[in-house]
Amino acid sequence: MPDPALRQLTTPGTLIAVRVTPKAARNAVVWQDNIVRVYVTTVPEGGKATAAVVKVLSRALGVPKSRLELVRGATSRDKVFRVAD
């Protein structure tokens, strides 16, 4: 079920800055101090954590995974996603 606090970010063309915490205890998306924090349980190797972030973030936003495009930060904890049309 989409998080109502994050629903405003689903407009096409919106850039979403995300801070990722890999190897967390659970998967979660938290809106804190105007920063979207995504916690994933996967390890940051071979793009596994980024794929998990897309999955968790798309579920929290209520949009398909195919609508989230990684713009910046493929190997960084700080990532920027664009919501596609």
- pLDDT over 90 (residue 71): yes
SS3 letters across the chain = CCCCCCHHHHCCCCEEEEEEECCCCCCEEEEECCEEEEECCCCCCCCHHHHHHHHHHHHHHCCCHHHEEEEECCCCCEEEEEECC
- pLDDT over 70 (residue 82): yes
* Cα distance between residue 21 and residue 58, in whole Å: 16
CATH 3.30.1200.10 fits 22-83, yes or no: yes
Say whether pTM exceeds 0.85: yes
18-69, pLDDT tens digit by residue?
999 999 999 999 988 888 999 999 999 999 999 999 999 999 999 999 999 9
Tell me, what's the pLDDT at 1? 58
Tell me, what's the pLDDT at 13? 93
